[in-house]
């Protein structure tokens, strides 16, 4: 992707901040397609289980809250001054999913080794078709652009290992996860299935009132107890599981 165009897109998105609000940024359909195509290539050239080093700032769900994303960079430092790992759920619910995902993709293309994006359960066509992203794409552009984003989301990595000690994902661990190579070996592009390892990495939840594995109230995946976390950490010589997916 042309470096000057990429810098111009980033500049326009960052200039959207207007006091406490953010104005809508006009990107062309062609510009968005270029962002999706270029970032897809970057995602597929990096592993599905990213191996990263501290220091790195880890960020949870953004959900189309573009003003919050800009505030986050104000506090934490704009790339590449700080390294970032985002844990997914960039779209849906908020009013500016398009600006949010476009700035994140642009930073990913520009700072490949400093800026990392994992997949959340909302980076999936069957979910963001319902929770707002599809409607935003249709209202501001067309359904084709939503499909372009879907193709890009299907290439996102699903987990990251920091300093070989902190395992990060959007949702949680899985009863199907026996070793970390299974994550590395998930083929991409891929849609999120309704069960199995990839589904659990994006959907599972911890529950302090549960022992072992139980069905998840979401109707998808499992909840897991502290016993399963301790067992998993010990088996894989890890210190911590870091995840998003729920308000804390």
What's 138's DSSP letter? H
Q: Given 122, 170, 236, 245, which residue is catalytic?
A: 122
DSSP β-bridge partners for residue 206: 224
Task: Decide if 122 is catalytic.
Answer: yes
* Helices of type H across 78-225: 97-110, 125-128, 133-140, 143-153, 181-184, 197-203
Question: CA 163 from chain center: how many Å?
Answer: 20
Active-site annotation, residues:
122
């Amino acid at each position: 992707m042309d470096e000057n165009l990429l810098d111009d897109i980033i500049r326009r998105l960052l200039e959207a901040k207007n006091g406490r609000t953010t104005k809508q940024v006009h990107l062309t359909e062609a510009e968005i397609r270029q962002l999706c195509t270029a970032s897809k290539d970057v995602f597929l050239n990096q592993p599905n289980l990213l191996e990263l080093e501290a220091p790195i700032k880890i960020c949870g769900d953004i959900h189309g809250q573009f003003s919050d994303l800009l505030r986050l960079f104000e506090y934490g430092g704009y790339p590449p001054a700080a390294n970032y790992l985002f844990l997914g759920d960039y779209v849906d619910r908020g009013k500016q999913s398009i600006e949010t995902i476009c700035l994140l993709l642009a930073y990913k293309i520009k700072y490949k080794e400093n800026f990392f994006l994992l997949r959340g359960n909302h980076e999936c066509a069957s979910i963001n078709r319902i929770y707002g992203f599809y409607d935003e794409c249709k209202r501001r552009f067309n359904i084709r652009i939503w499909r372009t984003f879907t193709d890009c989301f299907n290439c996102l990595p699903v987990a990251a290992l920091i300093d070989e000690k902190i395992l990060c994902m959007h949702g949680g661990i899985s009863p199907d996860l026996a070793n970390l190579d299974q994550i590395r070996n998930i083929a991409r592009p891929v849609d999120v299935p309704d069960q199995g390892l990839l589904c659990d990495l994006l959907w599972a939840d911890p529950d302090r009132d549960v022992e072992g594995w139980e069905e998840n109230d979401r109707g998808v995946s499992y909840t897991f107890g502290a016993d399963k976390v301790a067992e998993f950490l010990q088996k894989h010589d890890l210190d911590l599981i870091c995840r998003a997916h729920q308000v804390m």
